[in-house]
């Protein structure tokens, strides 16, 4: 028995209302595919399970009132609220496939920005977003620092200046790389990025090394827009995006 058939049988046994069934299909789709869902796709789940379709207008109005569902980032899409997502996962754990895929919203760096770049950059970006999404702010700050360092090194490589930050055992530390970048401007970065480069390093360092320090949401929020700008500029400067 496939997951959808088993899941549908179980929710039908609970005598769910039509809206509750729709909510359940939204949850099922989000857990399985980590993406928001349209009205049309919700009705495809109804049809696939031999259930009568939900009038699209009624469904849209009902979902707007639902406490378990919220609108997605993409237009005319829906996803489960966090509480509903967790409650349903406790009831129907078999739906979730345990693997290494990271499912998250793109709060810090849009997935579209790093899509089709390099696997390790895409994965690191997902980890940054997932850390923020799950309130792991120290982890988020440290990972942001790591991605910044990687893209700075790639930028030196792309501009044939890697020897300027190299030493016998690899690369100089990030503090040196940032200060050198600011002072010598070996490749083109905007004034806004140059002014805030070291702030990202410091936030990551505080989270990694200061014993009594814990990063907070506001610490990340204060820099996330300029961080996104910085990552985008470095992706182009490093020729990872063209």
Cβ burial 51-71 (10 Å sphere, 16+ → b, else e): beebeeeebeebbeebebbbe
Q: Where are the domains of the chain?
A: 3-95, 111-237
Structural contact between residues 156 and 218, judged by C-beta atoms closer than 8 angstroms: no
Average pLDDT per consecutive 10 residues, the chain (242 residues; last block may be shorter): 85 92 94 90 94 94 93 90 91 73 67 89 91 90 94 95 90 93 94 90 88 89 91 95 86
Largest CA distance in the chain: 69
CB within 8 Å of 158: residues ≥ 6 apart: 187, 237, 238, 239
Cβ burial 205-216 (10 Å sphere, 16+ → b, else e): bbbeeeeeeebe
pLDDT of residue 133: 85
Question: Residue 117's Cα: distance from chain center in Å?
Answer: 15
pLDDT of residue 103: 52
Provide the 10 A C-beta neighbour count for residue 145: 20
Report residue 216 as tokens: 């907070």
pLDDT of residue 104: 57
Overall pTM > 0.85: no
Q: Does domain 3-95 have CATH number 1.10.10.10?
A: yes
pLDDT of residue 105: 58
Q: Does domain 111-237 have CATH number 1.20.120?
A: yes
pLDDT of residue 73: 83
DSSP alpha helix (H) spans, 118-169: 119-133, 137-158
């Amino acid at each position: 028995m496939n997951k959808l058939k088993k899941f549908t049988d179980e929710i039908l046994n609970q005598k769910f209302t039509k809206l509750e069934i729709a909510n359940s299909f939204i949850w099922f789709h989000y857990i399985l595919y980590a993406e928001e869902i349209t009205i049309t796709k919700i009705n495809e789940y109804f049809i696939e399970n031999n259930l009568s379709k939900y009038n699209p207008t009624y469904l849209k109005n009902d979902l707007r009132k639902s406490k378990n569902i919220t609108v997605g980032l993409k237009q005319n899409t829906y996803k489960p609220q966090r509480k509903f997502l967790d409650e349903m996962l406790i009831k129907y754990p078999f739906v979730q496939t345990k693997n290494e895929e990271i499912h998250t919203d793109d709060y810090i760096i849009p997935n579209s920005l790093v899509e089709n770049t390099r696997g390790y950059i895409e994965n690191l970006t997902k980890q940054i977003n997932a850390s923020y999404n799950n309130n792991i702010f120290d982890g988020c700050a440290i990972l942001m620092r790591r991605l910044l360092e990687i893209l700075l090194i790639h930028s030196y490589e792309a501009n044939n200046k890697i020897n300027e930050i190299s030493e016998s055992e690899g690369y100089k530390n990030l503090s040196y790389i940032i200060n050198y970048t600011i002072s010598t401007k070996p490749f083109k970065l905007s004034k806004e990025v140059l002014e805030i480069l070291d702030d990202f390093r410091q936030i990551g360092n505080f989270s990694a090394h200061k014993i009594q320090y814990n990063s907070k949401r506001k610490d990340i929020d204060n820099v996330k827009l300029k961080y996104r700008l910085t990552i985008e500029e470095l992706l182009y400067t490093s020729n990872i995006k063209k």
